[in-house]
Amino acid sequence: MPRQPEGPPPPPVVARMRLRFGKRGRLRFLSHRDIARTFERGLRRARLPVALSAGFSPHPRLSWVGAAPTGAASEAEYVEIAFSAPVDPGQVRQALDAALPPGLDVLDCVPAGGRSLPDRIDASRWQLRLPGVVTADLDAAIAVLLARESLVVERVTKDGKRGVDVRGAVVWAVCRAENDTCAILDVVVRHTTPAVRPDDVLTALSAVAVLSVPVPPEPTRLEQGRLREDGTLADPLAPDRDEAARPVGRLEA
């Protein structure tokens, strides 16, 4: 007979919470694995009744959705956490936020319900700060890219080079000027397989026009959500009946 873990099984799941958190400052360089480990430690430090998986190596039951690339900041990262006892959303947000390091900031916490969290997210809105790029050059590159039906760029992966259709993923893109020598790219990108990342968008813009990016860009994900017909994103934490409401995914200091 197969071996069974000693002792009683872990308590059942009685509550699930969905959290939105920010990845800011120097912590934008954390990998997704580092963030997951930090959350697990934070949950233990906050003494929250997190539900555990069964088996010989129980681990906290956390479900992650659409992690931002390493090096990108974000105001809209999401995780669903299972609990083995009833919890209050406000207390979970406050306790976990206090237990996490500054830069991983819990912004919202609501009870899970209705459609699953992955079913509520199919696009992201990104802001890319581009020091050394002037608005006119970025505007021209955006116009050329949006006029194309398809534009495939190559990305180097652990399995070799792989093509991604950037134009097929970009819903809309606009630019504005922070000052005379720094342009801001605001872009909504569908979640595709493979995912189109902010650096892929810049590679595509550089491929269709003379666009020089002399300084590493500073990408920040402002929102994730379900793409509406008007190009805005529905708030993933809103109740199903309120998904048509304007999301609250604002850039906070």
Residue at which a domain ends, from 56, 89, 119: 119
For residue 205 the two structure tokens come to 């813009």
Give mean pLDDT, residues 166-183.
94
Residues 6+ apart with CB under 8 A from 191: 66, 121, 122, 123, 124
pLDDT tens profile 198-249: 999 999 999 998 888 889 999 999 999 999 999 999 999 998 766 544 444 4
Cα–Cα distance, 52 to 54 (Å, whole number): 7
Does the structure show a pLDDT above 70 at 5?
no
Give the rounded percent of residues in the chain with a pLDDT score beyond 90: 75
pLDDT value of residue 10? 77
Does the structure show a pLDDT above 90 at 18?
yes
Categorize the per-residue pLDDT at 75 as very low, low, confident or very high, splitting at 50, 70 and 90. Answer: very high
For residue 39 the two structure tokens come to 């959350």
Q: Is residue 194 one of the residues assigned to a domain?
A: yes
pLDDT value of residue 156? 77
End-to-end CA distance of the chain: 57
Q: Quick one: 47 and 70 in the same domain?
A: yes
Structural domain of 76: 15-119
Higher-confidence position of 148 and 253 = 148
SS3 call for 37: helix
Q: Is residue 9 one of the residues assigned to a domain?
A: no
Calculated CA dihedral for residues 26, 31, 35, 41, nearest 10 degrees: -100
Cα–Cα distance, 31 to 203 (Å, whole number): 22
Apex 159 CA angle, 158 and 164, nearest 5: 95
Cα–Cα distance, 173 to 126 (Å, whole number): 9
Give mean pLDDT, residues 30-49.
96
Number of domains, the chain: 2
Q: Is residue 71 one of the residues assigned to a domain?
A: yes
Q: Is residue 8 one of the residues assigned to a domain?
A: no
pLDDT value of residue 245? 47
Q: Quick one: 145 and 158 in the same domain?
A: yes
Q: What pairing do the DSSP bridges indicate for beta strands 218-227 and 233-234?
A: antiparallel
> Residue 166's domain is classified under what CATH number?
3.30.70
Q: Is residue 188 one of the residues assigned to a domain?
A: yes
Q: Quick one: 187 and 221 in the same domain?
A: yes
Residues 240 and 114: beta-carbon distance below 8 Å? yes
pTM, two decimals, is 0.89
Categorize the per-residue pLDDT at 4 as very low, low, confident or very high, splitting at 50, 70 and 90. Answer: low
> Residue 94's domain is classified under what CATH number?
3.30.70.580
Does the structure show a pLDDT above 50 at 250?
no
Residue at which a domain ends, from 77, 102, 119: 119
pLDDT tens profile 99-139: 999 999 999 999 998 899 999 999 999 999 999 999 999 99
Does the structure show a pLDDT above 70 at 161?
yes
